[in-house]
Structure 1
């Protein structure tokens, strides 16, 4: 049996001495291990760079007096057209740009490696020696992935807000509906949008966690999760498959744009959150069934 690395071995309490606070300690250590990895930091750096690149591109494009492109439809194009008037729209644009691929890809990498990476490094058996059980360990892994969902989304939003304030004016917000709201309310809506985007990724997180229980190879789990994500995105763009598209987890992702309307349109937002909860329930249950019955050999 392989020796655990110091950072990994520190998560395992002494057998026979159960600690009522062990679950919280395990969650804390999982969070520390996850966010200290160079891979995680690199993913967050890439996500933070996207709003910077978008902001600079819009600034360069409009430096000659021309307006930013966009036809005023939902999502990214409508937001891009408003960035030069209010830098807060860079937050909405950055989230719209990263949600279809960059954010879910990062979640897929972290979720896919959650269990398979432990098995591959030989530390999974050490974790299961502790008196917490497989169910609690799996829930801790999922909570860690969900924490990454929130942190990754906030990194994009904060980076976009900083660039928006640096390159463009800030002030009252003109909604997609044409009405005006105060800057403080616009900030509240930006935060709410970031939370909705993070919640939109719980389906991908559960899917990645399930895939991670199927293999001992972290790379294979990550690649499979990202591959399934790309497949779902492609299927969602084929008109002939319109009958199944409302059941694909990416279908309502950009519904967060309805939070920039006045009044807010809630129908697609509710459908999105309900669909993500369904995916989390189905694939979370599948991950639990697989993980609690599989033989741990590494």
Structure 2
């Protein structure tokens, strides 16, 4: 092998290195106390919701939905599986995206503030591979977080309420097994609904060397967009805001399933991922890393 070929081989890392980098990123992220604490908070939300519903209905109340909570809450006392849907609907507007914003916002900026970003780039990873590994790790966290909420809600629902056949929003009754499959699919849809937040956080993370600033900015932008999505006067732009279709997963509880809103949601999330992912790549590949 000539000297030029040897140099080219050194410069071009093998695909196995990319997998090794992804494993390293996943392991590092999920071993951090901050990540475990975020997952612990998410797991605690269904417990609090389940206890609140149980206490409210202990005296014979219906626990019906009065406009102050998720629409599924009126069904929780009849079937504990509905606590899964209620918990996901309750955590999706704030808790889940906030957790994802923290993880994604810290992905690049956290490495820079810790002084490890330069050493990561010295290894034969390449900036594009590193960025893809960070985004993939953030998306894996989205999936894990959604299933943590669902699993916690299912355990609490089974403990406090009866489980059985599921009566869907459309009035059709399905078996508990099919209800569990729909709950798992809903958790996946919820995780995919956070793709836009993950891409936004990754882009913000490439703009600063401060992990705290990146996390705060991401969460701040998330709250701002959520507020904008509530004003009727802004109805013209609201379908283009990434949280607008988040609760469309409720259409999976119909028979037949309504796919229109969910497909719009997933398409919108893919668009945000493409736009902010490209912006993150353009910024990161041109960035002068000195720390």
TM-score under structure 1 length normalisation:
0.92
- How many pairs does the alignment contain? 282
Instruction: Report the equivalent of 1:293.
Output: 286
Instruction: Report the equivalent of 2:200.
Output: 207
After TM superposition, what 4+ stretches of structure 1 lie above 6 angstroms from structure 2? Answer: none
Residue 142 (str. 1) matches residue 141 (str. 2): no
Deviation at 1:78, TM superposition (A): 2.2
Match of 2:42 among 41, 44, 47: 47
Instruction: Report the equivalent of 1:114.
Output: 107
Residues 1:20 and 1:238: Cα distance change in structure 2 (over 3 Å): closer
Cα distance in 1, alignment partners of residues 107 and 11 from structure 2: 26
- Tell me, yes or no, if the aligned pair for 1:193 and 1:259 is still in contact at 8 Å: yes
Cα distance in 2, alignment partners of residues 66 and 20 from structure 1: 59
Deviation at 1:132, TM superposition (A): 2.2
Cα distance in 1, alignment partners of residues 13 and 178 from structure 2: 48
1:1-298 to 2 correspondence within 5 Å? 20-71=15-66, 77-298=70-291
- Tell me, yes or no, if the aligned pair for 1:197 and 1:256 is still in contact at 8 Å: yes
Cα distance in 1, alignment partners of residues 57 and 47 from structure 2: 15
Q: 1:61-115 CA deviation, whole Å, 9 max, x = no partner?
A: 11111111305x8x95321000000000000000000000000000000000000
- Tell me, yes or no, if the aligned pair for 2:70 and 2:90 is still in contact at 8 Å: no
Provide the aligned C-alpha RMSD in A. Answer: 1.5
Deviation at 1:17, TM superposition (A): 10
Cα distance in 1, alignment partners of residues 84 and 15 from structure 2: 42
- Tell me, yes or no, if the aligned pair for 1:69 and 1:77 is still in contact at 8 Å: no
Deviation at 1:165, TM superposition (A): 0.5
Residue ranges of structure 1 left out of the alignment (5+ in a row): 1-14
Cα distance in 2, alignment partners of residues 203 and 225 from structure 1: 11
Q: 1:157-182 CA deviation, whole Å, 9 max, x = no partner?
A: 00000001011000000111111111
SS at match of 2:80: coil
Residues 1:245 and 1:18: Cα distance change in structure 2 (over 3 Å): closer
Deviation at 1:242, TM superposition (A): 0.2
Residue ranges of structure 2 left out of the alignment (5+ in a row): 1-9
Cα distance in 1, alignment partners of residues 179 and 278 from structure 2: 38
Q: 1:20-74 CA deviation, whole Å, 9 max, x = no partner?
A: 5211111111111101111111000000000000000001111111111305x8x
